[in-house]
């Protein structure tokens, strides 16, 4: 089977990540994970996209929300509320342990990558989950209500503010995770999962040297469109595009990735678009409801990568 680097962030990306993980071994599949959503909350270092992928691969994820754990209890949040603490960001009791553990590891001098490996292993995930960078990069969302930290925009304000742009704080002092760069020569394919291009993939692509490294890689780069029939399956992607006066179409997502792409994967609802993209494209079911949907899409993606090689 081919060796794949999967670039992912958020719930949508983790769905395809799970599909790929059913077909490939930990030696064949490595994850590069968005860390622009990370933030410090009540003294805790929180890394939502890494946690979503970890829980998903560990089969611990809350199936309804896609983030946090299932079989959760909420004693901590109840007690925090009693004391007038901030409760807009919901932290389940077991999920809280992960954030405390990561914060403690980082405080002891572990890198983000080492902390991710320790936590992933502890939860039974054999795959390498690599934060996009070991330096801190924080996504700021510029809106009609001023500049917002990502989680304030996404969770506290429920994506209501009108987006005017994005900024990735700390970029110039950050560099791509060396473990990601060093795997680029050995992979047979690079898959950009169906994540929000603007806030779940761009932070990684804007890391100094990252885009050039992907362009220089001999492996084909393919992306799965997060936009299906003019709407996002999950999250604010389509709303952001409208607010940025970008057509909320799959074609606009392909154009956003530009010359990085060797291939693009469209949903059946966008059949007919494939010849107008300027990049090789296939049409298949990209909407993932069941585990089998995830596996089927992963299989189509791998076959497409092989065809492009």
Position 160 contacts ligand FO1 (CB under 6 A): no
**CA 48, chain centre distance (Å):** 9
Position 202 contacts ligand FO1 (CB under 6 A): no
CB 154 within 8 A of CB 34: no
CA dist 301 and 64 (Å) reads: 25
Helix (H) or strand (E) holding 7: strand 4-8
Position 300 contacts ligand FO1 (CB under 6 A): no
CB 152 within 8 A of CB 103: no
- Please pick, from the candidates 48, 189, 194, 263, the single residue that binds ligand FO1 as defined by CB under 6 A: 48
Footprint (CB under 6 A) of ligand FO1, residues 28-47 = 37
Tell me the closest approach of the beta carbon of residue 296 to ligand FO1, in angstroms. Answer: 23
43/272 with CB nearer ligand FO1: 43
Which residues, 6+ apart, have CB-to-CB distance to 178 below 8 Å? Answer: none
**Alpha-carbon dihedral of residues 53, 112, 137, 87, nearest 10 degrees?**
60
Position 176 contacts ligand FO1 (CB under 6 A): no
Residue window 58-97: x/- pattern of binding to ligand FO1, with contact defined by CB under 6 A: ---------xx--------------------xxx---x--
Tell me the closest approach of the beta carbon of residue 122 to ligand FO1, in angstroms. Answer: 16
Which residues, 6+ apart, have CB-to-CB distance to 218 below 8 Å? Answer: 185
CB 111 within 8 A of CB 177: no
Is the four-CA dihedral 20, 24, 26, 30 of positive or negative sign?
negative
67/257 with CB nearer ligand FO1: 67
CB 133 within 8 A of CB 38: no
Position 203 contacts ligand FO1 (CB under 6 A): no
68/197 with CB nearer ligand FO1: 68
Residue 178 main-chain phi, psi, to 5 deg:
-55, -30
- Which DSSP letter does residue 162 get? P
Tell me the closest approach of the beta carbon of residue 37 to ligand FO1, in angstroms. Answer: 4
Tell me the closest approach of the beta carbon of residue 50 to ligand FO1, in angstroms. Answer: 8
14/117 with CB nearer ligand FO1: 14
Residue window 94-133: x/- pattern of binding to ligand FO1, with contact defined by CB under 6 A: -x--------------------------------------
Residues forming the site for ligand FO1 (CB under 6 A): 10-11, 37, 48-49, 51-52, 67-68, 89-91, 95, 151, 154-155
């Amino acid at each position: 089977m081919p060796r794949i680097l999967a670039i992912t962030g958020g719930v949508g990306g983790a769905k395809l990540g799970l599909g790929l993980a059913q077909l490939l071994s930990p030696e064949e599949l490595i994850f590069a994970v968005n860390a622009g959503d990370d933030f410090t909350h009540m003294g805790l270092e929180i890394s939502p996209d890494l946690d979503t992928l970890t829980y998903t691969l560990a089969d611990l994820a809350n199936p309804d929300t896609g983030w946090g754990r299932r079989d959760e209890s909420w004693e901590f949040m109840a007690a925090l509320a009693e004391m007038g603490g901030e409760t807009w960001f919901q932290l389940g009791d077991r999920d809280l342990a992960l954030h405390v553990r990561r914060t403690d590891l980082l405080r002891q001098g572990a890198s983000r990558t080492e902390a991710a490996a320790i936590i992933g292993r502890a939860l039974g995930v054999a795959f390498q989950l690599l934060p996009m960078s070991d330096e801190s990069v924080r996504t700021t969302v510029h809106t009609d209500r001023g500049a917002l930290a990502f989680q304030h925009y996404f969770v506290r304000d429920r994506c209501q503010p009108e987006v005017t742009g994005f900024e990735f704080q700390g970029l110039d002092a950050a560099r791509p995770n060396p473990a990601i760069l060093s795997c680029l020569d050995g992979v047979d394919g690079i898959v950009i999962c169906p994540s929000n291009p603007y806030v779940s993939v761009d932070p990684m692509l804007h890391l100094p040297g990252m885009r050039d490294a992907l362009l220089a890689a001999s492996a084909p780069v393919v992306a799965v469109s997060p936009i299906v029939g003019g709407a996002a399956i999950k999250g604010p992607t389509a709303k952001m595009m409208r607010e940025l006066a970008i057509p909320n179409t799959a074609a606009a997502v392909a154009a956003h990735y530009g010359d990085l792409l060797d291939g693009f994967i469209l949903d059946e609802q966008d059949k007919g678009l494939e010849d107008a993209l300027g990049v090789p494209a296939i049409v298949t079911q990209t909407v993932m409801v069941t585990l089998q949907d995830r596996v089927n899409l992963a299989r189509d993606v791998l076959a497409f990568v092989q065809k492009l090689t």
